[in-house]
Structure 1
């Protein structure tokens, strides 16, 4: 047991989050995502899982230890709804709230087309599959830095 660590952050996930460097991305995806075929192409090379956990709850756990990148215009993305790229689903609104709560209102989710999302996920450090059953519960987070204390 560790103090002050969200209990959803299992040893494999903690290892991945600690191993990621500035600018690396992690994909947090829903239960419909093709996890095995995509994860094998990531840096980590294996799927991570949080079964029975919603994507927003997984975001809360991940963002409790992972800073988002402030050096790029958009550090967090959502998979766009096919044919309606401007539409936001309930799970996307909930995920956005978790990002705001952790990092502040400057971090608005960008949109990324479905197949472009798959390609971006393959280039990510790792893919974390949640138990999220709602459609379009797929997101990318880019790791930032923790500045030294003055």
Structure 2
């Protein structure tokens, strides 16, 4: 254990966050996401939901300020009437850590899967919210 590091961040996840470089992406995946079949590096975070993981990660992880949209969400499939309430939680957490102007990219489901395949890592969570998946692009420390 170390001081100041939230217990929700496993040693494996902290190692991944430190290894990542500018422009690398990490996926925080909900419980329905095909994490194991898509991941180059899979980090299990069973029993945890994405909002608390996002809060802990953004304490240390800079978002990329050199791109217009450093955060990506999986857009709702056309015809699906679901309206993801969790996105407002994400926006609140990201605004707190990265500023009010942070833009979100809405990504088609299959394009999202493609981005996840090339992401540095995927964190598999127990998040039950539909369309709860989120991609973060790492920035630099200024």
TM (norm. structure 1) is: 0.89
Aligned structure 1 segments of 4 or more residues deviating by more than 4 angstroms: none
1:102 aligned onto 2:102? no
1:67 aligned onto 2:53? no
RMSD: 1.5
1:10 aligned onto 2:5? no
Q: How does 1:77-96 map to 2 (within 5 A)?
A: 77-83=72-78, 88-96=83-91
The Cα shift of 1:108 comes to 2.5
The Cα shift of 1:88 comes to 4.9
- Distance between the aligned counterparts of 1:52 and 1:118, measured in 2? 23
Range with bigger deviation, 2-11 or 135-144: 2-11
The Cα shift of 1:72 comes to 0.5
**Matched residues, number:** 141
Q: How does 1:1-150 map to 2 (within 5 A)?
A: 1-39=1-39, 42=40, 45=41, 47-83=42-78, 88-147=83-142
Range with bigger deviation, 55-64 or 15-24: 55-64
Which structure 1 residue ranges, 5 or more long, are not aligned? Answer: none
